[in-house]
Structure 1
């Protein structure tokens, strides 16, 4: 198939929509009859279906999800990519690479500096400039170990009118994390209406309003004795009292469930509250980041308050010539300015810059891996500028 005839854009007409559903069904092993509801749910949440046409037919699919991501207390515009699938007859012909190149050009053309995805295969995404930039962990806790008896805050079921307050609570917590999403409707819908399950929301209130909440699903794992596993699609607490109240609520299920599981990072502060280490933390994924606009991404990010310094970068980017060359990152009291030029004291590919930008790997670790070249002063400066909590994502998309 001649790739010069490639076209990227929204699916047009019922025939192309049917092709999208067929490709996604085969790529992800999902029943075909579930595809139309899946597609409608994606579109209702603001997800944007995109196809790559070659030779007049749909060769590959993707879903673009506009949102944001929190870095150093600043929200940076980001588009998540999911639903990547290639028609079986088009595999092994570079189709997925052309799809991703077209998608990234589309996203950069909107003025968005970042893109994030969960990789099914890393070589494909590394070819187009993505690199590991953070983690998603499963936290599995013994319910019997949640021996809290906090009752000072009121706990009640979530009502529809509570949703704006819950969104505010999440946002106030997420902006203090590294890599957490500024959620849009697509992600919130996955929290409140997970596929194939019913999520029950509960919130806790103090004198100043909502201080935390959770969404809980129940999975029957032993029909004989009605034993459940509790799975949380969200768990957020702004105060220690809210954290203990929510953990007390989960602990109240000890006669029904042995374990509760939620997703997050490698060092969840809720686990610090437990008396014993009655939990397991398991790595699920390393997600990947693509920096689409180097100066815009570096300038939009927040840096540690009081942090100052200048870092001279020389960046290589095979897809976007605009990212190729030398840049100076100048940080003053946590705020950044970026200009072209400088001495290029730290040389790295845009992939490596993604891992540095997120704080996923230290400059020393990246140099050890042979991913960057830098003098000692540049290494120390980069270590200080990009220091922070481990980047994590509780959300899938």
Structure 2
């Protein structure tokens, strides 16, 4: 562990205290080390979780804390580390892997591609005086955790790319590494209808901003009550900051465009198993169609070749063979799979080869909201 901490301090400018806090959140069974001789040359954490696509949770292996010792950089160490991790992840049955890239060329060599973004949302505190106090708001308690988890899942399943959170992700929401977070719930006739976890961040001249590690409402009244609660901090508060997608529904309740939305970071996906990935996600009910794919994969020969994707009644069936009318690398399949890029956009820049009918079919089958992520990992 001392070698891991040394690598992380060099790679991410983490302090010893940061390393201790990070270690408390990561299960040792999720750590991977690459040794060169008798020295630890590289490390990463492989975190099992899920991502929502088409209303279904797809098992994924999240990759974090990738680091290489300074003396082993530039020698292919990170590539070997990632290759071994991907082989292990595929063998475990996970159809996808997801990560936030510190550098894209490394992960593109491993078959990852941009597949969505995490957006920072900043709202001026003065815009949050919604006048809604009909629902009860109180501090969250440990007994509320199951209801809070249910609230999150009810919303997240309609948000392509959002995590189907496990213990690791919930710890980051409720107890982030570098600040104190307080949780609050909103109660209505059906029980807990919304919640927020927030940290008060000091600024100059006694001012502060509110940083939200999570905010969810499952009813309109709960949404307005949470915004009213945040607005109650306006005497010293300047802005409220949280993360999500560009189509965050809370923004629709604001009277003016008193907010900013910007890309914080793109995340990348690696399709580990073409057949399993396409069959695991959900698809638009009432929409049916077929797509003949021809996939190239430099690492997994099982993903190489032609596949026929048949979609009907919200489910997919994938078989070997077909005419291969839409030709693409497994990297571009990741962008197509999540809905981040359309087949038309990919063809326009030469990343997909296809006839018009295949492009139109792919655009229809993979259409939906832009994929986003609220969580870091």
Question: What TM bracket, shorter-length normalisation?
Answer: over 0.9
Q: What secondary structure, in the 3-state scheme, does the structure 2 residue paired with 1:380 have? A: helix
- Select 2:105's aligned residue among 104, 118, 123: 123
Quick check: 1:254 aligned with 2:238? no
- Does structure 2 conserve the Cα–Cα contact (< 8 Å) formed by 1:47 and 1:66? no
Quick check: 1:64 aligned with 2:49? no
- Select 1:239's aligned residue among 210, 214, 219: 219
Residue matched to 2:332: 352
Residue matched to 1:181: 163
RMSD, matched Cα: 1.0
Give the CA deviation at 1:53: 1.4
Residue matched to 1:97: 79
Matches within 5 A, 1:1-397: 17-43=1-27, 48-222=30-204, 224=205, 226-397=206-377
Q: What secondary structure, in the 3-state scheme, does the structure 2 residue paired with 1:89 have? A: helix
Give the CA deviation at 1:267: 1.5
Q: What secondary structure, in the 3-state scheme, does the structure 2 residue paired with 1:112 have? A: coil
Residue by residue over 1:196-240, the C-alpha shift from the partner in whole angstroms, topping out at 9 and shown as x without a partner, is 211110111111111110001001102x3x211100000111111
CA distance in 2, matches of 1:268, 1:330: 32
Give the CA deviation at 1:47: 6.8
Give the CA deviation at 1:38: 2.0
Give the CA deviation at 1:178: 0.4
- Does structure 1 conserve the Cα–Cα contact (< 8 Å) formed by 2:21 and 2:177? no
CA distance in 1, matches of 2:29, 2:184: 27
Q: What secondary structure, in the 3-state scheme, does the structure 2 residue paired with 1:189 have? A: helix
**Cα distance, 1:177–1:33 mapped onto 2, change above 3 Å:** closer
Q: Which runs of 5+ in 1 are unaligned?
A: 1-16
Q: What secondary structure, in the 3-state scheme, does the structure 2 residue paired with 1:215 have? A: strand
TM-score calculated relative to the size of structure 2:
0.98
Q: Which runs of 5+ in 2 are unaligned?
A: none
**Cα distance, 1:47–1:119 mapped onto 2, change above 3 Å:** farther
- Does structure 2 conserve the Cα–Cα contact (< 8 Å) formed by 1:47 and 1:65? no
CA distance in 2, matches of 1:268, 1:19: 41
Give the CA deviation at 1:242: 0.9
Residue by residue over 1:324-357, the C-alpha shift from the partner in whole angstroms, topping out at 9 and shown as x without a partner, is 0011110012211111111101000000000000
TM-score calculated relative to the size of structure 1:
0.93
